[in-house]
Structure 1
Amino acid sequence: MSSKRPVRRPGPARLRLLAASAIVLPLVLTACASDDDIDLATYVEDIQPADTLYNQGLANLNAGRMKEAIAKFDAVDRQHPYSEYARKAMVMGAFANYRQGNYQEAINAGKRYVSLYPSTEDAAYAQYIVGLSYYRQIRDVTQDQADARKTIQTMEELVTRWPESEYVEDAQTKIRFARDQLAGKEMQIGRYYLERREYIAAVKRFRVVVESYSDTRHVEEALARLTEAYFAMGLASEAQTAAAVLGHNYPDSQWYKDSYALLQSGGLEPRESKGSWLSQAGRAIIGG
């Protein structure tokens, strides 16, 4: 014998209650919804033709509306990836971010372009934007010079990979400036040690300038400071050689006059020792 109890069907009153509940429930849900609720339909992006988005980006760029231009170029890349317009939008987006001061975004976009399209005509331009973005972030010599180093690395790569590019000349100008910054940083640290009579540490810094940054404006002072440091250490031959190299390359400079007077105060005069590292480094100096 089955022990199951029969299923009771709802009576007329129960059916009426259920029907009323079915009507009321949507009304309650609607009433609970506020104006601030998120409509998921708004997250469906309006897909537009690639050329339309790209041209809108250019129009905004020409009008100086950089944020709007960036948004349009990003939309091209997002909606039409790996298309010809996406390729163009990537490099133009890098430029727009650079103009807007979004240097890291410009660097990322430029590097991505060069990685994906290294053989296109715009690759050198993308590399140039990366270099400019680093260049714009170079700080005073009293601060870290990481961006100066990155500027040199990026611009030297441009010159090497795209030697016929129209951006080479300016890239070389930016390289010279960044190298001057690095030399200036070495000088700033060297002077700090010199003032505290930490002569060995000072000499190391000034030597870096003479050997690695001989084409910068700081080499003249570096030679004078080496004369001063060696003289203070009692290393007469090194002091005389530093002054001699300074006089050979910058005979009319005040730095040489001061160095000459310093040596004379000790009964010395400039005399180059051919076996010195200074004598060898002096051959690479482009003096005035």
Structure 2
Amino acid sequence: MPLRSVPTPRSTMARLAIRAAAIVCLAMPLGACSLFGDDDVTYKTQPTDPADLLYNQGLVALKDRDFTKATKRFEQVDREYPQTEWSKKAILMTAYSNYEAAKYDDAITAAQRYVNLYPQSPDAAYAAYLYASSNYAQIPDITRDQQRTLKALDGFQEIVKRWPTSEYADDAKYKIQVTRDQLAGKEMEIGRFYLNQNNPSAAANRFKVVLQQFQQTRHVEEALSRLTECYMALGVPSEAQTAAAILGHNYPDSQWYKDAYTLVQSHGLEPREDEGSWISKAFKNVITM
């Protein structure tokens, strides 16, 4: 599934920063509003500095891609002007500047805080998107623990559920598919390990998860073929025949089907679906990819 043209955290936040800067400029003297020019900007401030000055300095630092300074300014706004509109903006910008700096855990913390404090804000969807994207950016390879993948999946699902018409919903739907495919791949990796250890029962349990929870992923074909192998090894030929039959029905040109068919035939059997099988029931409403 190709990635659609949707706003990314960077492109969307760039618009947000420009919009916020424009609002600030309206409230400040013209001479103080050189946010994106070449003026020499001093970042040293006193605790009594106005919130708008601190916030603007954070925006200038973002423009210069000095994310450490940007984060410090936004955090200072939040700390010195709590429960104000400036603090509200600063929390979101803290999440973004940390995201840009690849400080994903800090971005997650700020984004979560924003959503918790301002769930009805027009920017709550974006904060949630930053949270999910920060977890998504840390998804490990398939051999490692997939807690980050689960958190990213939960985050993107929350966006689709709570903000289905937002500009982030389409990208969230795409990344839900990516994360689900990753989780299915992890189950397959463990299942293959058990097969190599001559433990077809434990392997079958892993492949079963793929069929029951991750049907619309690229791993389904192999999972059905592996189940055929597992059930033949376990002496349950009817389930093996069912797995092979459903594989052949949904993916007739697949090499995995050819392998499953050859295995079943080698035992004097043919693929045949048992509609009472859990495999058959799992595929009643399947939509092949």
Give the structure-1-normalised TM-score.
0.83
**Partner residue, 2:118:** 117
SS of residue paired to 1:76: helix
Aligned positions of 1:210-229 closer than 5 A: 210-229=211-230
Q: Is the 8 A contact 1:54 1:73 kept in 2?
A: yes
Shift of 1:285: 2.9
What is the CA–CA distance in structure 2 between the aligned matches of 1:199 and 1:45, rounded to whole Å?
68
Which stretches of structure 1, 4 residues or more, deviate above 6 A after TM superposition? none
Q: Does 1:172 align with 2:135?
A: no
Question: Which is higher, the Rg of structure 1 or of structure 2?
Answer: 1
Aligned to 1:108: 109
The question of whether the paired residues in 1 share the 8 Å contact of 2:47 and 2:80 is answered with: no
Q: How does 1:185-264 map to 2 (within 5 A)?
A: 185-264=186-265
1:86 counterpart = 2:121: no
Gaps of 5+ in 1: 1-43
* Cα deviation, residue 286, structure 1: 2.7
Q: Distance in 1 between matches of 2:253 and 2:287?
A: 14
One-letter code of the match for 2:179? A
Distance 2:72 2:47 in 1: 13
* CA distance in 1: counterparts of 2:286 and 2:257, whole angstroms: 15
Distance 1:248 1:61 in 2: 55
Given that residues 95 and 129 in structure 1 are in contact (C-alpha distance below 8 angstroms), is that contact kept between their aligned partners in structure 2? yes
Answer whether contact 1:214 1:284 (CA < 8 A) is retained: no
CA deviation map 1:250-284 (0-9, x unaligned): 11111001111111111111100010001111223
Structure 2 counterpart of 1:71: 72
1:61 partnered with 2:62: yes
Secondary structure of residue in 2 paired with 1:216: coil
**1:53-94 CA deviation, whole Å, 9 max, x = no partner?**
111111211221111111111111112111111111110110
- Answering whether residue 266 of structure 2 is matched by residue 265 of structure 1, we say yes
Q: How far off its partner does 1:121 sit?
A: 0.6
In the other structure, the counterpart of 1:97 is 98
Deviation at 1:241, TM superposition (A): 0.2
How far did residue 45 of structure 1 move?
4.4
> What TM-score do the two structures reach when normalised by structure 2?
0.82
Alpha-carbon distance, 1:244 to partner: 0.6
Q: What is the deviation of 1:155? A: 1.4
- CA shift for structure 1 position 49: 1.1
Unaligned runs of 5+ in 2: 1-44
- How many Å separate the matches in 2 of 1:111 and 1:96? 15
What is the identity, as a one-letter code, of the residue corresponding to 2:111?
G
Percent identity (aligned): 54
How many residues are aligned here?
245
- Which secondary structure state, in structure 1, belongs to the residue aligned with residue 180 of structure 2? helix
Two-structure CA RMSD over aligned residues (Å): 1.3
Assess if the C-alpha contact under 8 Å between 1:244 and 1:271 holds in 2: yes
